[in-house]
Amino acid sequence: MFGKPVTLFKILGFKVQLDFSWILLALLITWSLAKGYFPAYYLGLHNETYWWMGAAGAFGLFGSILFHELAHSLVARRQGLRIGSITLFIFGGVAQMDEEPHGPKPEFLMAVAGPISSFVLSAFCYLTFEIGYRYDVPISFLGVVGYLALANSLLGGFNLLPAFPLDGGRMLRAALWRWTGDLRRATRSASRVGSLFGLILMLSGVFQVITGNFMVGVWWFVMGLFLRGAASASYYQVVARTTLSGEPIRRFMTSNPATVSADLPLDVLVEEHIYRSLHDMYPVMKNSHPVGCISSKQVAGISRDRWSRLTAGDLAVPCSVDNTVSVETDALVALSIMNRTGNSRLLVMEGDRLVGIVTLKDLLKLLALKLDLEGAA
């Protein structure tokens, strides 16, 4: 949401990333717990203790959301789906899939795993609270555990709402998919329900603000706005995938692209290529074979007085699976690579020979044309 997420670690083979917006959420949760929730339910503790409890509660919520998304990811992996990463952001978390489920059953199993995991974790926290209470465990620890029991039950319950792309909405889509046999139609219907729930949340937020609950109202309104946007975006993501799937990348590439030699000085690259053709990226060639690519952003990161001493080959990013595709690669696979790596341009290869460049703009242009001509329904 606020930029490229930061990779924290890997767990069970899944890359865990953090969007900077989650830091805002963590601070908000810590403050609300330390100044509101814990002082109201656990009286007589020191102010420092409440702040430590608030920080522990925010950290525990981080772990709870990660546990929820790991449940989705493990079931998805078992169903043969590839999960690229798990990203935590201000409204929770999302397991990034590179493809849609292969049928309604995998979709349902993957969706229901999240709420079940949250309810199981809630039950564990509640049991820990009860046992700790009987054995006189410090109340500060019990307060955090009790909060996590409540938070996980709310997390599981909220995600059961039949509002796509929440888990309940995905379960609804799985049912509609099984009934209609049409993924796009099922997604459209589930997305409309998600948009309706988003609108209800927004209106409820306005009502809360009018009646004096300003913070609650703003939070509900923003969540409703996010849900409506996510429902629409998720539908068009499915449209994009079903539209581009099966289309070879050779249909969208620019053939015989402009290239530069590996020994070309950067100042010449800028003056005679970037400024004249206005391309953002150039394949770098050595002995008629591509050795990588160089972008204007890379050059911009080098001080101007060094341009004459460095060459395109010095800065070239080597050819790899992250910036090259085969000429017969499915367009959907190319789009997935762009989404995973953040590269908006890929070199198109036929064996070890460069035959073209494909850009995200090219793929989106085709998608827009197909939607105009064939409709999104």
- For the chain, the C-alpha Rg in angstroms (whole number) is 25
Instruction: Give the DSSP H/E element, type plus range, for residue 371.
Output: helix 360-374
Place of tokens 């929730």: 37
CA distance 81 to 65: 20
Is 272 labeled as catalytic in the residue annotation? Answer: no
Bridge partners (DSSP) of residue 187 are none
Question: Of residues 69, 99, 107, 328, which has the active-site annotation?
Answer: 69
Beta strands in the chain (DSSP E): 6-11, 14-18, 83-89, 92-97, 254-255, 260-261, 281-286, 289-295, 317-318, 324-326, 345-350, 353-359
| Residue 53, number of CB atoms within 10 A of its CB | 24
Cα 199 to its chain centre, rounded Å, is 23
Asked if 283 and 290 count as a contact pair (C-beta separation under 8 A), the reply is yes
Catalytic residue numbers read: 69
